[in-house]
Amino acid sequence: MNKKEIQTELFCGACLKDSLHTIVYLNGNIYKLTCEECGHTITKPDVVKDIYGEYLERILSKPHRLKDEIEKHPSKTISSLPSRIISKPFRFYKELEGLRSYVYKKKKTDEKDVK
Ligand SMILES: [Zn+2]
C-alpha cells in the first residue's frame, strides 16, 4: 500500500474559512481530508472498494502486460520470471494486508476519538 500525506490550504465548510488541511492518499486515491484548524474530517467510505477494484484490474491485465514485457525484453523477462511467479502471491498479499490493516486500524482510532 502506498500512503502519502500532503498539507494544503483549502476552504473548510465547518469553520467557514481558509485553513490548513491534511489530505491522506492511499494508492493515489484521496482517503481522508482533515481541517487542522477545527478538526473536521471527511473520510471517503468506499476508497477500499476502489483500491480493491484497482488490484482486480491489475490481476486481470497481468497476462497482457507480461506479453508486452516479453516482447520488449525477452531474455530479461524470462530469466526473472520464476522468482517473480513464486514471490508474486506474497507481495500481493502483503500489499492487501497493509491496506486492510491501515484502514481498519484508522477506523478503530477514529471511532475512539468520536466517543
Ligand atoms: Zn475547519
Ligand 1 centroid – CA 106 distance (Å): 20
Report the C-alpha gap between 11 and 35 in whole angstroms. Answer: 9
Ligand 1 centroid – CA 108 distance (Å): 22
Please give the residue that has the higher pLDDT: either 107 or 92.
92
Q: What is the pLDDT of residues 36-78, one digit of tens each?
A: 999 999 988 777 788 888 888 888 998 999 999 999 999 998 8
Ligand 1 centroid – CA 11 distance (Å): 8
Q: Using N-to-C axis directions, what is the helix angle for 74-114 and 47-72, rounded to 10°?
A: 170
Ligand 1 centroid – CA 51 distance (Å): 28
**Contact criterion met (CB below 8 Å) for 36 and 23:** no
Cβ atoms within 10 Å, residue 32: 17
Average pLDDT, the chain: 86
Report the C-alpha gap between 91 and 95 in whole angstroms. Answer: 6
Give residue 113's pLDDT: 56
